[in-house]
Amino acid sequence: MVNVVSVKFKDIGRSYYFDPNFLDLNVGDKVIVESAGGLSLGTISGEIHKVTEDRIVKELKKVLRKATDKDLGQLQENRKKEAEAFKICERKISEHNLEMKLISVEYSFDASKITFFFTADGRVDFRELVKDLVSQFHTRIELHQIGVRDEARMLGGLGVCGRPYCCKQFLNDFEPVSIKMAKEQGLSLNPAKISGSCGRLMCCLKYEQNAYDDLMKITPNVGATVKVNGEVCSVLDANLITGNLIVKPKTEDSVPFKTNRKDVKILSRGKKTKENDEKEEKAEI
């Protein structure tokens, strides 16, 4: 077993294991760590604990010290430099007539590297741009092309629900989202209504799916056969959230009526149609 402490470098995103180096560390502490890219400033996101050696993917780097006021001042200075670097890079992109959109700029803590994040429809030859940026900043330059979901996470904003983007607020990773999830949650399959501002299927479809999976286990499907007050009925409609059902007795001249899943006994769950199966197979990442 190995002693580790979890450190985050951004408000969102993954935590990484570091050697606590016998320091007294608490959640929320700002620390300076040794990383592959040099010194970095992060935040303790998990208490010191033990893990098995097989969970250590790479060589375990050390937490060097708690961040000082001088370190925090350096971080603020880097933020100011990032804003200026953004303006300079945008001007250089325009001068080179490159079809790319600059999204964000990040300075490493020790200013030994500047990373520029951008989006583009295809591959971009930015070699001349890099040369200009190196001559401007006299440090290591990296350009990273990102996708539309990463762009939304970096820029932030409000979703159709009126709340901040999930990816900006609390999601650590992007996971595959499928049309099947929208269908099972009873949502319209109109792409405009189930897509986020990034143009991809909404992330909430994924992390809410577990709750719907649990509800589907106790709710009969449309077409299922149930018994209500001793009468055999077919399910015409089902609301997973409320549990309300519209059922029709299997007798002549019967009239549909409303009931609830807690008041029925499921005799058969019904079968999905081939058309529905084909729709569920379609997915969008």
Q: Is residue 22 within a helix (H) or strand (E), and if so which, with residue range?
A: none
Q: Is the pTM here over 0.85, yes or no?
A: no
111, two tokens: 């200013």
Q: Which domains does the chain have, with CATH numbers?
A: 2-67 (no CATH), 73-146 (3.30.300), 222-269 (2.30.30.150)
Q: Which residues contact 51 (CB under 8 A, 6 or more apart)?
A: 1, 2, 4, 17
Cα gap 244→261, rounded to integer Å: 6
Geometric angle at alpha carbon 255, from 251 and 258, rounded to 5° = 115
Q: Is 152 helix (H, G, I), strand (E, B) or coil?
A: helix
- Show the tokens assigned to 71: 């370190």
Rounded-to-integer distance, Cα 3 and Cα 48, Å: 7
Q: Which tokens belong to 253?
A: 């001249």
pLDDT for 270 beyond 90: no
Structure tokens at 173: 């990773």
161-199 tens-digit pLDDT: 889 998 888 887 888 999 999 988 888 889 888 999 899
Averaged pLDDT, 13-34: 90
pLDDT digit string, tens, across residues 192-239: 889 998 999 999 999 899 999 999 999 999 999 999 999 999 999 999
Helix and strand counts by DSSP (H, E) for the chain: 9, 15
